[in-house]
Structure 1
Amino acid sequence: MKQVAMVCAGLSLLAVAGTAQAIEGGMDVGKDYTHLRFGLGTDTPGFALSGDWLRSDHDGNVESLGLNYNVGVGSFMLSPGAKVMSTNPKDSKDGYAVAIGGGVTVPVTNMFNAYGEYYWSPDAFSAHIDNYQEASAGVSFRPISLVDVRVGYKYMALNGKDGRKDNVVADGPYVGASVHF
């Protein structure tokens, strides 16, 4: 049933994000985790669809589909949104969560941007976890329009429910790159 719900949510998000033009795909690597991501319309105003898979060497993994609405405010890009995710902690039950949050991108120069994002899911929006938190911040360098190199810090935690262990899926610096089409 969980897979059916994730597929239905993903197809719904894809239908809403149909106006997205740009495609992005990338990978970030931290000391104990790997993060793969893709996106449609993540760099332009309007609806944006994103997908993530983050695997921890010690605490499980999390897959998500997200829908944001990018708003240009001066030179800033604000991206409020929501994510539907499947949680697979190593020492607890698999579950799901719906997180709300968003991000901001601030251009520093033509090639450098500072960015940050935060998502949170309370107990009422999740199953088998008390709450979910995700935060990241960093700097990106885009030497050409197709390539983006990132350096930052990521924190992702699944707080256990009913006495189950907390799982910190990511907590540390990362380097990454992405390609934009």
Structure 2
Amino acid sequence: MSISGQAGKEYTNIGVGFGTESTGLALSGNWTHNDDDGDVAGVGLGLNLPLGPLMATVGGKGVYTNPNYGDEGYAAAVGGGLQWKIGNSFRLFGEYYYSPDSLSSGIQSYEEANAGARYTIMRPVSIETGYRYLNLSGKDGNRDNAVADGPYVGVNASF
């Protein structure tokens, strides 16, 4: 189990995960908030597979969207990620999820990308830094809502 929190210049993100750092099934959830652009909450299910020194994840997310400019709705996003554990204390990671108009309601599309590095200070506590992009493309004349678009710092606890 892991619990994490990240803060960027104009957004915050909190998350929880089960099985996200080992092979097999993984369950995750997160909530991202931006005062200017709205909120996004999601629950994901993925399959983690070893791929040489990397661990690859393929899966999907059910996402609730509440943009400040537009209608609230949902998205069913598909995607995945890669993790590269370097030694016992350092990990690089990245992920990408996308939902087109046909799998979204209230928005034209959902797009989320995250990449960063995590350093374990003392098990179970890690610090991380990275870049997060989360955009809700506007529909029916509504503008896009970039809920997250920029660097962040965070803390993670894994048990």
TM-score, L = length of structure 2: 0.97
- Root-mean-square deviation over aligned CA pairs: 0.8
Instruction: Return 5+ residue gaps in structure 2 as ranges.
Output: none
Instruction: Choose from 42, 46, 54 the match for 2:32.
Output: 54
Match of 1:91, SS state, is: coil
- Which of 140, 143, 150 is matched with 1:165 structurally? 143
* Partner Cα distance (2:109, 2:98) in 1: 7
Match of 1:81 in 2: 59
State the partner residue of 2:78. Answer: 100
Tell me, yes or no, if structure 1 residue 90 matches structure 2 residue 68.
yes
Corresponding residue for residue 126 of structure 1: 104
> For 1:1-181, what aligned pairs fall within 5 Å after superposition?
23-181=1-159
Q: Distance in 1 between matches of 2:51 and 2:57?
A: 10
Provide the rounded CA distance (Å) in 1 between the counterparts of 2:50 and 2:118: 18
> What is the DSSP-based 3-state SS (H/G/I as helix, E as strand, rest coil) of the residue aligned with 1:155?
strand
Alpha-carbon distance, 1:26 to partner: 1.0
Structure 1's consecutive aligned runs of 4 or more residues displaced over 3 angstroms after TM superposition are: none
Deviations 1:25-76 (A, max 9, x none): 1100000000000011111100000000000121000000000100111221
Percent identity over the alignment is: 44
What is the distance in 2 between the residues matched to 1:68 and 1:149?
A: 23
Higher helix share: 1
Instruction: Judging by fraction of residues, say which structure has more strand.
Output: 2
Structure 1: which amino acid aligns with 2:54?
F
